[in-house]
Structure 1
Amino acid sequence: MTSASLSGRTVLVTGATSGIGYETARQLAERGATVLVHGRTAEEAQAAADRLIATAGIDTASLCAYAGDFTRLDEVEALAHRVIKAHPHLDVLVNNAAIAAPERHTVTADGNEVAFQVNFLAHYLLTCLLEPALTSDPGGRVVNVSSSLHRTANIQWSDPNRARRYSRLAAYAQSQLALTVFAADPRVTAVSLHPGVCETSLRPLYAHEGDSAAKGAAHVVRLCDPATEIVNGAYYDRDERVAPAPAATENRSVQRLNKLASLLVGHTA
Structure 2
Amino acid sequence: MNNRIAVVTGANSGLGRVTAATLAGQGVHVVMAVRNVAAGRAVAGQISGSTEVRELDLASQASVREFAAKLTTDHPRLDLLINNAGAVLLGPRRTSVDGFELQLATNMLGHFALTGLLLPALSEAPAARVVSLSSITHKPATINFDDVMYERNYSGSTAYGRSKLATTIFGVELDRRLKAADSPVISVLAHPGMTRTNLTPRAWEHLGRRGRILAWVGLLATQSVEQGTQPQLTAATAPGVKGGQFFGPRGPFEMFGNVTEVRPSSEAADPSVGRRLWSEAETLTGVRYLPYRD
Q: TM-score, normalised by structure 1?
A: 0.90
Question: What residue number does 1:166 align with?
Answer: 154
Q: Which residue of 1 aligns with 2:239?
A: 227
Matched with 1:25 is 20
The answer to whether the 8 A contact 1:24-1:221 is kept is yes
2:229 aligned with 1:212: no
Unaligned runs of at least 5 residues, structure 1:
1-5, 53-57
Asked if structure 2 preserves the Cα contact closer than 8 Å seen for 1:179 and 1:192, the reply is: no
SS in 1 for 2:78: coil
Partner of 1:42: 37
Are 2:135 and 1:147 equivalent residues in the alignment? yes
CA distance in 2, matches of 1:41, 1:19: 14
Alignment-derived partner of residue 3 in structure 1: none
- What RMSD over aligned residues (CA atoms) do the two structures have, in Å? 1.7
The CA deviation at 1:226 is: 5.4
**Match for 2:224: what amino acid?**
S
Counterpart for residue 55 of structure 1: none
1:139 Cα deviation after fit: 3.5
Give per-residue Cα distances to partners, 1:146-192, cap 9 Å, x unaligned: 10110011111111111012101110001101111111222352111
Tell me, in whole angstroms, the C-alpha distance in 1 between the residues paired with 2:102 and 2:157. 13
Q: Which runs of 5+ in 2 are unaligned?
A: 179-184, 204-214, 250-258, 290-294
How far residue 217 of structure 1 moved from its aligned partner, in angstroms, is: 1.8
Q: How much does 1:137 deviate?
A: 4.8
Instruction: Give, in whole Å, the separation in 1 of the partners of 2:90 and 2:70.
Output: 30
Match of residue 71 from structure 2: 83
Local SS of the residue matching 1:131 = helix
Secondary structure, counterpart of 1:83 in structure 2: helix
**TM superposition shift of 1:234:** 2.4
State the partner residue of 2:11: 16
Contact 1:15 1:21 in 2 (8 A): yes
TM-score (norm 2): 0.82
Residues 186-227 of structure 1 deviation map (CA, whole Å, 9 limit, x = unaligned): 235211111221110234679443111112223222221151
Percent sequence identity over matched residues? 32
Q: Which structure shows the bigger proportion of residues in helix conformation?
A: 2
> How big is the shift at 1:43?
2.0
List per-residue Cα deviations over 1:75-99 (Å, max 9, x = no partner): 0111111211111111110000001
| Mapped contact 1:222–1:228 kept (Cα < 8 A) | no
> Which of the numbers 237, 241, 262 marks the counterpart of 2:248?
237
Q: How many residues align?
A: 256
Contact kept, 8 Å, 1:70 with 1:118, in 2: the verdict is: yes
